[in-house]
Amino acid sequence: MSHIGPTAQPDKRALRREFLAVRNGLTADDVREAALSLAERALGMPEVARAHAVAAYVSVGAEPGTLTLLDALRARGVRVLLPALLPDNDLDWGEYTGEDSLTLVRHGGRMALSEPAGERLGPDAVTEADVVLLPGLAVDGRGMRLGRGGGSYDRVLARLDRAGARPALLVLLYDSEVVAHVPAEPHDRPVDAVVTPSGVRRFK
């Protein structure tokens, strides 16, 4: 029986709830320690070390922390692009120049997101990135990522394909979020690697 099609969505919704429940049980210390390890692991990757531009995001709540990594990239002279959510769930981009360049934006009834406060560079700005960090809740042995379900990053990946851009696609997760199987649909695209506090696993 295939998991592709309508049956995939309830599976994904249930999985998202499970992974979010585990994250919500983490302490602030757990999240902080993991963020330091994630930054160290990611910065040691050759594709990150040679990147001129990285498209990333600001972690929220108990998500695997990204700010330590963003600041380290900036200190290396890397251009860091951050998303701004548009009304249709697509993403515009702006440049990160430190925590004072962020503004908290509430989107309807959803969580508030830290977004770049400065100039908007347009949705196509992501095609200039050498590395794209994708948010996720889990990844499986094929590199298939379970996202949050908004579809924003499906659009980003389609935009990269249309532009012929081939950045390294990375997802930052906790160790327990690397799993045996994630339901996948025809448009889903695998990531190149997952970074967890204990190491890096590549899929290609």
Annotated binding site for ATP: 12-16, 145-153
Structure-block tokens of residue 6: 């309508």
First to last CA, the chain: 27
- Annotated binding residues, as ranges? 12-16, 58, 63, 145-153
Considering only the C-alpha atoms of the chain, give the largest distance between any 2 of them, rounded to a whole number of Å.
Answer: 51
What is residue 37's DSSP assignment?
H
**Polymer length in residues for the chain:** 204
Residue 181 token pair:
């199987």
The answer to whether 91 touches 126, Cβ cutoff 8 Å, is: yes
Residue positions forming the annotated binding site for substrate:
58, 63
Cα–Cα distance list, 204 to 48, 98, 139, 154, 191 (Å) = 16, 33, 14, 20, 9
DSSP string, 67-89: HHHHHHHHHTT-EEEEEEE-TTS
| CB-count burial class (<10 Å; 0-12, 13-18, 19+) for 10 | exposed
Rounded Cα–Cα distance for residues 37 and 5 (Å)? 37
The three-class DSSP label of residue 115 is: strand
